[in-house]
Amino acid sequence: MGADSSCCTLTSTAALAPHQQLDLLAQALPAEQQFEASLQQRQLSAPRRSTLRVLQLNLGKLCNMRCSHCHVDAGPHQGHTLMPDAVVDQCIAAMARLQPAVVDLTGGAPELHPRFKELVLAARAQGCHVIDRCNLTVLLLPALRDLTGFLAEHEVEIVASLPQPEAESTDAQRGDGTWEASIEALKRLNQLGYGQGDPKRQLTLMSNPAGTRLQQLTPCDTAEWKRRLQELAGVQFDQLIGLNNMPIARFLEQLQRDGHVNCYLKLLHNAFNPEALNGLMCRDTLSVAADGQLFDCDFNQMLELPLGGSSTTIEAITREQLEQRAIRWGNHCFGCTAGQGSSCAGATA
């Protein structure tokens, strides 16, 4: 079956500009509870960037879906945001210059970029582990019918978004028909050896909670997910990771409509975990926007908080320039430091 258009039916609303989002987040907490002030009160030093490990490329916001929790405002209307060829070429050159251990391809649906496969091949040629951040339903598009085989052949890890191990809550977050399409995609991946414990065919599921609950996954949750998905659909996966819903973009807009911005920021603030600081992805990840600008993380990218306050681009940055560089902080950073901690790789504490 193909990806049904019903996966894209969630209501569109006027997006808040990045500066409006930052203002909302700043106003949600008193001055003494702002992120950096909270670190100072706890006598904690703000972490700085360490050795680069992950080069994360945001290939644009084009996506076949439009999910309510999406922090990048992705959707079918975002074709104009695709990374241009000149920046793709700069990213390929940067793989050799920066020598990251991991190249992380994200979007939108990164697979919809016309040079997606070329980027995979370039990264693998440099010996990099490659991650494809996949919404699953994109793998069913007729134009991409050979993509799953390509991913398996080149040993690309798939980090697939699946909010919950059941239809109702998954469709509520991501649109009607998403569960059925996601299960079909997982079955195809299983047939190619993904989810079977083979390190060359890693299938990681990423969950995010509904609403304003924090992500609190345990080994018991992983076992329960594996049991439920096997019983309900006969599918398997290797690893389960979780991500707190970040108070930016569509989720922040939903919080604002419901009058819950202050409550959610207070929840995150009260759940701050100092142990989560060491594993923050902004310390070892370089986030590259579609126009080539650099950011400490994908979330800073969406809030237009560039690396070190500068407009440095991927064209010439070096590993030495990144080492021990200051990180841009804001109240949205409570989302990554609450509870177990949260990152593109899952819990940080």
| Helix axes of 249-258 and 261-270: crossing angle, nearest 10 degrees | 120
Share of the chain above pLDDT 90, in %: 72
* Two structure tokens written together for 201: 């065919």
Predicted confidence band at 67 (pLDDT cuts at 50, 70, 90)?
Answer: low
Q: What pLDDT sits at residue 73?
A: 64
Q: What pLDDT sits at residue 105?
A: 98
Q: What pLDDT sits at residue 156?
A: 98
Those residues whose C-beta lies under 8 Å from the C-beta of residue 233, and which sit 6 or more positions away, are 183, 186, 187
Predicted confidence band at 346 (pLDDT cuts at 50, 70, 90)?
Answer: confident
Predicted confidence band at 74 (pLDDT cuts at 50, 70, 90)?
Answer: low
Mean pLDDT of 142-154: 96
Q: What pLDDT sits at residue 250?
A: 83
Geometric angle at alpha carbon 317, from 312 and 318, rounded to 5°: 150
Predicted confidence band at 8 (pLDDT cuts at 50, 70, 90)?
Answer: very low
Is the pLDDT assigned to residue 296 strictly greater than 90?
Answer: yes
Mean pLDDT of 51-62: 95
Of 344, 341, 346, 342, the C-alpha closest to 273 is 341
Q: Which of 77-86, 92-101, 167-176 has the lowest mean pLDDT?
A: 167-176
Q: What pLDDT sits at residue 72?
A: 62
- Indicate the burial class of 111 (C-beta count within 10 angstroms; 0-12, 13-18, 19 or more): buried
Q: Report the predicted TM-score, pTM, of the whole model to 2 decimal places.
A: 0.91
Question: Which regions of the chain does DSSP assign to beta strands (E)?
Answer: 54-58, 102-106, 129-134, 157-161, 203-207, 239-242, 285-288, 294-295
Q: What pLDDT sits at residue 309?
A: 66
Q: How far is CA 324 from CA 153, 241, 250, 305, in A?
A: 37, 28, 32, 18
Is the pLDDT assigned to residue 304 strictly greater than 80?
Answer: yes
Of 179, 166, 135, 161, the C-alpha closest to 241 is 161
Is the pLDDT assigned to residue 158 strictly greater than 90?
Answer: yes
167-211 pLDDT, tens per residue?
888 888 777 888 999 999 999 999 999 999 999 999 999 988 777
Q: What pLDDT sits at residue 243?
A: 86
Q: Are 129 and 169 in contact (CB under 8 A)?
A: no
| CA–CA dist 160, 281 (Å, integer) | 18
Those residues whose C-beta lies under 8 Å from the C-beta of residue 66, and which sit 6 or more positions away, are 8, 9, 10, 12, 74, 75, 76, 175
Predicted confidence band at 5 (pLDDT cuts at 50, 70, 90)?
Answer: very low
| CA–CA dist 178, 104 (Å, integer) | 24
Of 22, 66, 13, the C-alpha closest to 302 is 22
Give CA 151 to chain center in angstroms.
19
The separation between the first and the last C-alpha atoms of the chain, rounded to the nearest angstrom, is: 40
| CA–CA dist 253, 93 (Å, integer) | 37
Q: What is the mean pLDDT of the chain?
A: 90
| CA–CA dist 87, 335 (Å, integer) | 30
Q: What pLDDT sits at residue 68?
A: 54
| CA–CA dist 165, 208 (Å, integer) | 11
Cis, peptide link before residue 108, omega less than 30° from 0: yes
